[in-house]
Chain A
Amino acid sequence: MLSLRLVVLFLHVAAVIVALGSSLFSTFALAPVLAEELDPPARLRVARRVIRRLGTIVLTSLAVLVLTGILNVLFVGGVSILLLIKLVLVVVVIGLALYQYGNIGVQIWRLSAAGPSPEIAILQARFRRIGLTVGSIVLLIVYLSLGLTRGPEAIVAAIR
């Protein structure tokens, strides 16, 4: 019941849930509530701290995803076209997440030190859009992963 393969798979799935869940929570739950309940200075103060914490959570989850993903490939024991597409999408997701938190997040962080401004609103909108794109690509990766392990052309079936 408890094997290294299951533990690695559990960590892999948990990392997807954390990365995707935190992005969706921030975009669809936290941002609208902040906009309704707080004045611009307070909203900004909360948002800039959320960006920092969210960046830590999402990028750490992606690190866990990459590490457990490599271990999963070792357990599966083969490379297919689906897996290559997944690898390319993973690189795109990491790139987008780095751009989201390391570029736009840092700009929001820097500009918001002087208080609310129209520039920050534009950056925040872009931040949300990239977050949604990352979420959508992660969902596509999850679908491809199901194809790898459960689909009609599952790599496991091809090997056995």
Chain B
Amino acid sequence: MRWLTILAIALGAITTLSYGTGAHIAVRFLNPVFGAWWNANEFAMVECSAVAFGMLLGIRLGARLVDGLSLKSNSMIAAVIAGALALPIVARLGAEVARYRFTRGASANAWLIDRFGYDVGMFLDKLLNAGVYSMKIAAIALPVGMILFGLAIVIFMTAAPDTDPGPAISK
């Protein structure tokens, strides 16, 4: 679980930085075929790694709130499998929602150009946009991960045998 989260963070950081800085040009220079593939897929990888990170974070947060080792580990495994299956759908929905602009404020473009000049400002703005986009997708995926873990808990709780605590005697 820990390694999956680290992998999602690393992949997210690399692809976001690569997309934000336009690093596919350097990859193309070293290996044209791989560079072309990288350029075609890096944006999808930004979205998928952000969703994976958000869902894994949600599952891990949920697991911290639950008691019982076997219930926790079984639910985590089930939630990760369900999350992997749901990843394409959540990535698509998350990407759609993350593209919406804030209805007011949250525009750093002018400030960055004013502070660092046009070229550097535009470069930093694209990098910031990619980072914010990635974080917004992860934020949308977080409750999805938590609720997948919750549903797994429900399934395992319901499947557990109902042991009788003793004879019921009503008044």
Encode contact with A along B130-171: 1 for CB under 8 Å, 0 otherwise. 000000100110111011111101100110001111111111
Is B66 a contact partner of A106 (Cβ separation < 8 A)? yes
Mark out the residues of chain A between 21 and 44 whose CB falls within 8 Å of any chain B CB in the assembled complex. 37-39, 41-42, 44
Q: List chain B residues, Cβ under 8 A from A99.
A: 65-66
A87 contacts the other chain (Cβ, under 8 Å)? yes
Q: Are B65 and A95 in contact (CB under 8 A)?
A: yes
Prevailing SS type, chain A contact patch: helix
CB neighbours (8 Å) of A45 from chain B are 164-166, 168
| Interface residue tally for chain A (C-beta within 8 Å) | 51
Whether B166 lies near A98 (C-beta < 8 A) is no
Q: Contacts A59-B151, A74-B97, A79-B102 known; A95 to B71 CB distance under 8 Å?
A: no
Q: Does A152 contact B (CB under 8 A)?
A: no
Select one of B93, B143, B164 contacting A90, CB under 8 A.
Answer: B143
Residues of A within 8 A of B2 (CB): none
Contacts of B168 in A (CB 8 A): 38, 41-42, 45-46
CB distance from A157 to the nearest CB of B (A): 10
B53 to chain A, nearest CB (A): 15
**A4 on interface, CB distance cutoff 8 Å:** no
Is A129 part of the contact surface with B, judged by Cβ < 8 Å?
no
B interface SS class? helix
Q: Does A151 contact B (CB under 8 A)?
A: no
Residues from chain B with a CB closer than 8 A to the CB of A109 are: 157
Judge if B96 is at the interface, Cβ distance under 8 Å: yes
**How near does chain A come to B100, taking the closest CB pair, in angstroms?**
5
Q: Which residues on the B side are within 8 Å of A2 (C-beta)?
A: none
Which residues 94-143 of B have a CB within 8 angstroms of A? 94, 96-97, 100-104, 136, 139-140, 142-143
How far apart are the CA atoms of A112 and B165 in the complex, in Å?
6
Which of A5-13, A65-73, A136-144 contacts its partner?
A: A65-73
The smallest C-beta distance from B119 to any residue of chain A, in angstroms, reads 29
Chain A neighbourhood of B163, CB < 8 A: 113
Q: Using CB atoms and an 8 Å cutoff, list the residues of chain B in contact with chain A.
A: 61-62, 65-68, 71, 75, 93-94, 96-97, 100-104, 136, 139-140, 142-144, 146-151, 153-154, 157-158, 162-171
Q: Would you list 22 pairs from A and B whose C-beta atoms are within 8 A, ordered by A residue?
A: A39-B170, A41-B169, A45-B164, A45-B166, A48-B165, A55-B157, A56-B158, A60-B151, A63-B148, A70-B97, A74-B97, A77-B100, A79-B102, A87-B139, A91-B143, A98-B66, A99-B65, A101-B150, A102-B65, A103-B65, A103-B66, A158-B103
Q: Top 6 closest A-B pairs, CB basis?
A: A102-B66, A42-B168, A59-B150, A99-B65, A103-B67, A98-B65
